[in-house]
């Protein structure tokens, strides 16, 4: 392995580890904000829960990936990762307001609201990522 790649390995590992921790923390918070139990629903084969959770995770991961690509420090990653998480939670709350039966629709396996929630999460994540370019 070339020496310059070995020299960059600690930075890669640090950013990757922090990003994985941010993703795990976001997932834990998101799972506690929603009134249904996505993991149990997914284990039971509920596609609506899988679609909506996948959208939220990808919507969060996009700005985190963008920050990794453009930041100079782990502190930047942590700060902007926290902002990305808050924005995604707010997007979910907006979806709950726009679709008042969402809390019942996802556990019931209704795909249309899940697709809307996933699309909203991805759209917000993409806009969030674009705004985090500095």
Neighbour tally for 52: CB within 10 Å? 31
Please check the confidence at residue 84 and state whether its pLDDT lies above 70.
yes
Q: Which region holds residue 2: left if phi is over 0, alpha if psi is between -120 and 50, else beta? A: beta
**Would you say the C-alpha torsion 88, 119, 132, 70 has a positive or negative sign?**
positive
**pLDDT tens, position by position, 86-120:** 999 999 999 999 999 999 999 999 999 999 999 99
Q: What percent of the chain has pLDDT over 70?
A: 99
The two three-digit tokens of residue 11, written as one number? 């930075």
Residue 14 in contact with residue 74, Cβ under 8 Å?
yes
- Which residues, 6+ apart, have CB-to-CB distance to 45 below 8 Å? none
């Amino acid at each position: 392995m070339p020496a310059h790649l070995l020299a960059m390995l600690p930075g890669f590992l640090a950013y990757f580890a922090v990003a994985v921790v941010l993703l795990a923390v976001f997932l834990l918070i998101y799972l506690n904000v929603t009134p249904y139990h996505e993991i149990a629903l997914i284990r039971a084969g509920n596609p609506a829960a899988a679609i909506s959770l996948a959208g939220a995770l990808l919507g969060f991961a996009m700005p985190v990936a963008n920050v990794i690509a453009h930041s100079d420090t782990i502190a930047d990653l942590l700060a902007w990762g926290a902002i990305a998480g808050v924005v995604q939670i707010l997007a979910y709350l907006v979806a709950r307001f726009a679709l008042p039966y969402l809390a019942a629709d996802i556990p019931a396996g209704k795909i249309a609201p899940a697709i809307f929630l996933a699309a909203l999460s991805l759209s917000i994540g993409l806009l969030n990522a674009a705004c985090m370019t500095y």
